[in-house]
Chains A and B, each alone.
Chain A
Amino acid sequence: MFLKIVMNDVRRKKIISATVLVFITMAVVLGSSATNIIANLMQSIAQLKTHAVPSDLTQMHIGPYDQAAVDRLVATLGEHIAEQETMFLLNIEGSDIHFGANRTMVDTVQDISFVVQNRKFDFILDLDNRKLEIKAGEVAVPIYFMKTYSLNLGDVLRVESRGFRKEFVISDYARDFEMNSALASSKRFVINQADYDEMLAHQVGDMEYLIEFKLHEHGDLRTVRNAYRKAGLPSNGPTIEGKLFSLFNALSDAAVVMVIVLISLLLVVVASLCIRLTFLATIDEDLREIGVMKALGISRKDIRNVYLTKYKIVAAVAGVIGYGLSFLVVRAFNGNMRLYLSSDLSGSLQYVLSLVAPIAIYLIIVLYCRSVLGRIDAISATEALRSDIMQRGKHRKYRFPLLKNRFLGTSTYMGLRDVAIRIKLYRLLFFIFIVCTFIAILPLNVFNTMNSPKFSTYMGIGQCDVRIDLRKTDTITADFERLLAELENDSDIEKHAAYITCSYPAMTADGRWEYIIIETGDFSVFPLQYLEGEAPSDAGEISLSFAQASADGLDKKIGDTVVVQVGGVDKQLKVSGIYQDITNGGKTAKAGSSLGLQHDAILWYMVNLDIAPHADVSAKMAHYQSTYASAQVNGIKEYARQTMGNIIRQMGAIVIGGLAIAIVVMVLITALFLKMLLSKDMSQIAIMRSIGLSTRQIERQYMAGTMVVLLPGIILGVLAADYLGEILVSMAMSSMGAASIRFVGIAWQTWLVYPLLIIVVVGITLSLSCKVAVAEDLSVVLRS
């Protein structure tokens, strides 16, 4: 019986009912997909870490190596160290790796290492997060290389070096928690032990060691690090703490994940706004109907039943449809993410998780219904029949009389005063516009920031054309002198600066000596973007990386003094500035050349240079690359493109995705909102038409009303994406260990193109949905 009344009601108000249904369905789809995606991503990251078991401390080393000495240290630090394992990397030149039709990997800035899977921890995984087990003759290739060189499973890689030749069939993707990110400068290819031994026997590649430590849960990283240094164990290379891998991931893949999570959360907000909107739009009508029922003497219980049944049915139908649709959305989305994170919510969990949204929405709707029913007791039946709930509180002063209007056309004025009168309703639309604009602009800001030349200075790289790194060999010092002499006399080199990095003992805040990496040289030639303060001038100053200055490092502020031992002598250095650096473990320092070198602890040499405008850059680079055997010559643009390229591409996809989502949501909501508003106002519109207003004039009213909400909404959305977004992203970043990020906005995009695009699209939607029906006879509405 109730069902029959309800069905009649639905049939009578087709447009409103359909719109309410679509709105709630949309809310369910958004909410369901968002919870599903968030749960999926969170779980994937956690699972990846669980399966990969990354190391807590890794010392990279090139040169003579003595495992027994390391074992002795581990024995004395049993209370801190849980496991130790050394991975033997065979570093192979990109030019020695051949694939496809005569191509090699010569142009990569990444170091390529062939390794055998670890036994204890730091595992390299396949796409299903399983530990890779590679058969002889096969190789698992890092995702980064699979993408960069568009490789496919089954393709053949050929290693050709010093007369040795071997072919490998690509059998799997290698997902490497520690080195997944393009920001990590090397990548590990996994092969079988037999193949590895064969290459080793033929002296293919250079040996590098990853001396890895897994600590106990309460093991102290600092103690282990210092004991290691004190013991004089192999340390020719950077020391990397486990946290850095998270940071790398945070700045690359995880940045993408975070933006997606943020968008999902915002979509949940939009969904709840939609539901509220639906109720506000229909409440008058509902109250009137309930009033009629009340006047007819129908009991409160029966009224309750009819009303609740109606919305329960709508919510249930919308829930089922939305629940189903959300899986399509999630599937499309996961297809794209699968490479980077295994998205493998086990079994029925995802079906359960996706239920959260529809159930929550169902409950919210029932709650709303109850609050509407609660109002019935507060007002009399005739009151419900006569007046408009939006303006209840009738002793309020009459606002916006028509004569107050001085400057606007009457239609425009009517539209604006409608916004003011039904502010509750329009306010929701306003919030939705803000949130959607935020969704569209925030990824753009992140993208532009990552894409900007300034961002490379976040990586601790000064702005220059080319950098030359000298790798540690027997002839390194002689090579370095020779290189500097040649650069000095090369007229094609506009300017250059040499930097030498050594490790020095420095006094920590709690009075202990700890080894830190200090780069010395002239930092005024290629200035770095400083977070605070400035580069060290030559005498008695030092600048610290953000991580080194933090409590986790030396714990210093600008103006503090750092005591450093050089050649056994204590030197007092004043902190002149703090910069962002994610290279070499993130904890670095810079000081003028006058600090002096720690000759027995020189780590590496680096030269930055700018090439004169008239010179041929690539020829110059090739010349230096071939003249100095130990040199690695990289163009900075290329370097940045390769390290940031992948993430920038992903972020680019999100920019498009975010914009698309925002626009689709805005278009749908705008269209539905107007449909609802127009059919709600049907009788008022008919009255206006009978007076003699043309449909154009009436449409102008609704256009003006919606536009006056849309424009400030978009402006506020852009502002929010600029300022609030920056704060949010900075917070996320600093929780991962990076310093604050400043957005590098591109004004014509954030302020012109994007907002304009949104305005145009929503404007078109508006003018299309703002159609007052003309075909019908006016009297049909007037008489009903």
Chain B
Amino acid sequence: MRTMLEARNIHKKIALGEDNVLHILRDVDLQIGEGEFVSIMGPSGSGKSTLLYTVSGMDRITSGSVVFMDQEISSLKEESLSKLRLDHMGFIFQDINLLKNLSLIDNIMFPALLEKHADKKAVHEKAKKLMEMTGIATLADNSITQASGGQLQRAGICRALINEPAMIFGDEPTGALDSKSAAEIMAILAQINNQGTTVMLVTHDMKVAAKTQRVLYMVDGCIVAQKHLGPYEESSDTLVDREQELMGWLVTNGF
């Protein structure tokens, strides 16, 4: 298995005052292979989101190194980093973060249209396909005020997928959704992962984490443990087993 993302010794400090330095990440090592489906758990404030943002190049690290698709990203210039994100990374957020002046389909197509010689027709086709896949095809021309949270999150996923990224990052994408919608979103993510896209999710929901292959547990800026659950096949009895297994593991880690 090839390595998709590798973080070595990353450290993130924030100076709050004169001699008041907050260590959000402390010497974190992380390796994610191509095609993996990884979730990060941990108590609130343990640095999960920060880890996600730093390894994806949105936030700067204080020290250490992050290699994404064989590129050392902490030394990249802003412009090439943005390009890397545009072409190879997709993001899904808890509060969705769609652009407010664009319709759903325009939000989805927007990243693809930024390419200089984008084939508009092909992009449109692809967007429609993605919307069909996620079940929001009828909402294409709706504005973002004319869709429910779950529908918006599906649009968010479509947008993350439009440039066929190598890896998807999600910061609690199901956090604000009801359990039914959350399950549907997870199903979509699993499907994407099956098609070969690497996925890294931050979540505090055990049901969500149980559907991933590997769970990392963070406390106080460090990854303190990890659990291999193995690939998940869709069937409810295995899910209950996985949840129970995960539960036991989490409890031993002080969850």
Contacts and interface: CB of A to CB of B under 8 A. Distances in A.
Contacts of B86: 691-693
A387 B159 contact: no
A394 B145 contact: yes
Contact of A783 (B49, B100, B110, B116): B49
Contact of B82 (A687, A693, A782): A693
Given A689-B82, A693-B82, A695-B79, 11 more contacts: A388-B101, A398-B103, A401-B103, A402-B106, A411-B114, A421-B101, A690-B91, A691-B86, A695-B82, A778-B53, A783-B49
In this complex, the interface size class of chain A, counting residues with CB under 8 Å from chain B, is 20 to 34
Interface in B159-195: 159, 163
Contact of B91 (A394, A403, A691, A693): A691
A145 to B, nearest CB: 66
A505 to B, nearest CB: 79
Given A410-B113, A410-B114, A774-B78, A688 B99 contact: yes
A693 B114 contact: yes
Contacts of B124: 403
Interface in B62-100: 78-79, 82-87, 89, 91, 93, 97-100
Contacts of B204: none
Nearest to B96: A687
A398 B141 contact: yes
Given A401-B106, A410-B113, A690-B58, A779 B101 contact: no
A216 to B, nearest CB: 72
A691 B85 contact: yes
B59 interface: yes
A524 interface: no
Contacts of B103: 398, 401
Given A401-B103, A402-B102, A410-B110, A692 B159 contact: no
A391 B101 contact: yes
A500 B98 CA distance: 86
Contact of B85 (A692, A696, A697): A692
B78 A692 contact: no
A287 to B, nearest CB: 14
Contacts of B98: 687
26 contacts: A387-B100, A387-B145, A388-B100, A388-B101, A391-B101, A394-B143, A398-B103, A398-B141, A398-B143, A403-B109, A684-B100, A687-B97, A687-B98, A687-B99, A689-B58, A690-B58, A690-B91, A690-B97, A691-B111, A691-B159, A692-B82, A692-B114, A693-B82, A693-B114, A777-B59, A778-B53
B91 A694 contact: no
A418 interface: yes
B23 interface: no
B114 A779 contact: no
Max chain B Cβ within 10 angstroms of own Cβ: one of A398, A417, A421, A696: A398
Contacts of A401: 103, 106, 141
A694 B78 contact: yes
B97 A782 contact: yes
Contacts of A693: 82, 86, 114
Interface in A414-434: 417-418, 421
Most buried by B among A387, A388, A402, A783: A402
Nearest to A778: B58
B159 to A, nearest CB: 7
B197 interface: no
A386 interface: yes
Interface in B96-152: 97-103, 106, 109-111, 113-114, 116, 118, 120, 124, 141, 143, 145-146
A388 B60 CA distance: 32
Interface in A373-415: 386-388, 391, 394, 398, 401-403, 409-411
Interface in A687-732: 687-697
A779 B97 CA distance: 12
B59 A779 contact: yes
A551 to B, nearest CB: 61
Nearest to B61: A777
Contacts of B159: 691
A695 B101 contact: no
Nearest to A406: B120
Contacts of B93: 690, 782
Contacts of B78: 694-695, 774
The 7 closest A-B pairs by CB, nearest first: A692-B86, A692-B85, A777-B59, A694-B82, A778-B58, A779-B53, A687-B97
Interface string A209-232: 000000000000000000000000
Contacts of A409: 116
B198 interface: no
Contacts of A687: 97-99
A693 B50 CA distance: 21
A418 B106 contact: no
Interface in A739-784: 774, 777-779, 782-783
